[in-house]
Amino acid sequence: MERVTTKTKILSPSYPYPKLLFQCLMTENSIQSQLMIRIFIKEGLVCLNMNVAIGLLLFIYLVSPDLDLVEIIQEKLNEFGLEIINNPHVSLTRTIVLQFHWINRFISDLISKLKSIEKFTITFGELEVFCNDNCTRTFVGFLAQPPELLLQCVEQLDGVLSNYNLPKYYEDPKFHLSVAWCLGDQSNHLRTRLKNIAFEFDVCRMLRVDKLMCKTGNKIFHFDLV
């Protein structure tokens, strides 16, 4: 089952493109001639010069419904000058580039792997500060617990990714629901500010996970758990 969305996600030029993309593009001849290849992202498409699309950005996640917990903390973090994340989610893969001719088989493989996973419940714990791989953005989010339940999903997803020679998820990941972000590495500053503020939440912190989502380009695929 798939649902097409019209929302476009614009990624900044500092977005860390997966190494696999450059390995596919930078041939020996192009390196020797020092040819510069212009790459940009448009509506989830990975494009070259002349708007030639070569693949799709893809990542797999579980979505958070509207929680009072998220709304409360976002109001406070917005006062700190952080940008609010409109569609909070818990990532279960890195953002990767998938070639067009792989898409149908890739989705089919995901269905086969995920059909053995049962529905489960996670709880959102304390606020944590995270920084992306190249330290261009800092995020604030809730830790998702227990990690063992999410690791069972990652293990199945990593199995599929490895069949396509795509990067697996991080080792010893800290699963989290990001709710706000800012530019640059502001992790130390934000950790200090969060320590000095007492947050009291008398609201639901639990999320029943009955499906995973996969975003490819401008399409979203749903994978129901058993």
Which sequence positions are flagged as catalytic? 89, 176
For residue 130, the tally of other CB atoms under 10 A from its CB is: 16
In the structure encoding, which two tokens stand for residue 98, read together? 């998938």
Residue 11 DSSP symbol = P
Distance CA 60, CA 120 (A): 17
Beta-sheet strands, E only, within the chain: 2-4, 40-42, 45-47, 53-63, 83-84, 89-91, 96-99, 120-131, 137-145, 176-183, 206-209, 211-216, 219-224
Here the tokens at position 127 are: 């606020």
Provide the CA 93 distance to its chain's centre, in angstroms. Answer: 6
Please confirm whether the linkage preceding 167 is cis (ω < 30° from 0). Answer: no
